[in-house]
Amino acid sequence: MALRRTSLPRTAEAVALAELRDAIIRGDLPPGAPIRQSAAAEQLGLSVIPVREALKTLAGEGIVDYQAQRGYTVAELRPSSVDDIFRLRELLETEAETRAVAKVRPEDLAAMREALEAQAQATDDADAHAAIMANKAFHFALLDRCDNQWLLRFVRQLWEALEPHRALAYRRTAADGDRVRADEIVHEHGEILAALEAGNVDEALRLMAGHRNSGQGDFHRLLPAGSDTATD
């Protein structure tokens, strides 16, 4: 486990939550990894109580799992879970995107352009963490314009449930030297942005739906064969 304490003034629970979440996004805590409360608290210079509360929050978001006698582990997905998550994403994000494209502003498009450039650079640098953060910034620069906080809350939770495996995907691509899919994602983002900049709403929505479907396939390729047969 690799946790890094920052100097920002936050409550102890907020520190624990942010650092645990970031370690999962970085891939330092991969799917299935145990999270020992006492070890995490020691690394962060905190008591066990805020770490425990942070883990409860992450469990509520589906990012970590808890089992009696076993404790907390980073959540592992099954193919059926991936399909369930992406089905909900399709329903909720289609609504959010449809609302957002009607309200998108020049500054939102500029933020998407900035995130796209950052993602392209991170891909060139094989920087998995930076690529993940830029990817999320690209999508939510638009999604945030839907102006429905309840809708956004659920969309964010679905994204976060996939974070451990997203980190694994980017790390595997970098380790294998396989730039093909990473470059395709950047290209797909570029097409979406170009459609939005041209005011072609229907095309942008079509491209976003296709991009989401491609992402579902990416997650399936990460999971081991037969992983749906595991017991709870």
User: Domain limits of the chain?
Assistant: 12-74, 79-227
211 to 86, 140, 151: CA distances (angstroms): 12, 14, 20
Per residue in 96-121, pLDDT (tens digit) is 999 999 999 999 999 999 999 999 99
* 79-227 under CATH 3.40.1190.20, yes or no: no
- pTM comes to 0.78
Task: Please check whether the two domains, 12-74 and 79-227, share a CATH topology.
Answer: no
Most confidently modeled range among 26-30, 72-76, 199-203 = 199-203
pLDDT at site 225 = 56
Please give the span between the terminal C-alpha atoms of the chain, in angstroms, as a whole number.
24
Amino acid identity of 203? E
**Helix (H/G/I), strand (E/B), else coil: 45:** coil
User: CA triplet 100, 105, 110: central angle to 5 degrees?
Assistant: 110
Burial 109-118 (b: 16+ CB within 10 A, else e): eebbbebbeb
Reported residue count of the chain is 232
Per residue in 53-95, pLDDT (tens digit) is 999 999 988 889 999 888 999 988 888 889 999 999 999 999 9
Select the CATH number that applies to the domain covering 12-74 from these four: 1.10.3720.10, 1.10.10.10, 1.20.950.20, 3.20.20.140: 1.10.10.10
